[in-house]
Amino acid sequence: MKVFSILCFLLCSLTFSNISFADSVTTKPVKQEQKQKQIDQVNINTASAEELTKVLNGIGASKAQKIIEYREKFGPFVSVEQLKEVSGIGQATLDKNAGKIVL
């Protein structure tokens, strides 16, 4: 009888607490994953300086501004490798950001 009382108490607690077991197990992690995916990549042809610095490792405000100036002067990047033509960006920076840069 005691076990039944405890189970009833737990069931009532969950029912009236606005917390759903299904929400905590499935919905929230999926939403967090989707948010994470949204900021995992950056389009170097359209991103602002702030977006570039937020997503890319080793890219601060100065290098982000150089990326923007480069694309304004020469047009959109046609390959990720072309980023190495921007002053201060080399292969090490590209390696650190593999998969984060899109066109």
The residues, any chain, with a CB within 8 Å of residue 21's CB and separated by 6 or more, are: 14
pTM above 0.85, yes or no: no
Residue 20, token pair as written in the block: 């759903």
Residue 48, token pair as written in the block: 């602002």
Torsion over CA: 80, 81, 86, 89 (sign): positive
Kindly report, residue by residue over 37-84, the tens digit of the pLDDT.
556 999 999 999 999 999 999 999 999 999 999 999 999 999 999 999
Whether the pLDDT of residue 91 is over 60: the answer is: yes
Q: Where are the domains of the chain?
A: 2-31, 42-102
Pairing of strands 101-102, 42-43: parallel
Superfamily of structural domain 42-102: AF1531-like domain (1.10.150.280)
Tell me the average pLDDT across 11-16. 52
Q: Residue 5: pLDDT band by 50, 70, 90 thresholds?
A: low
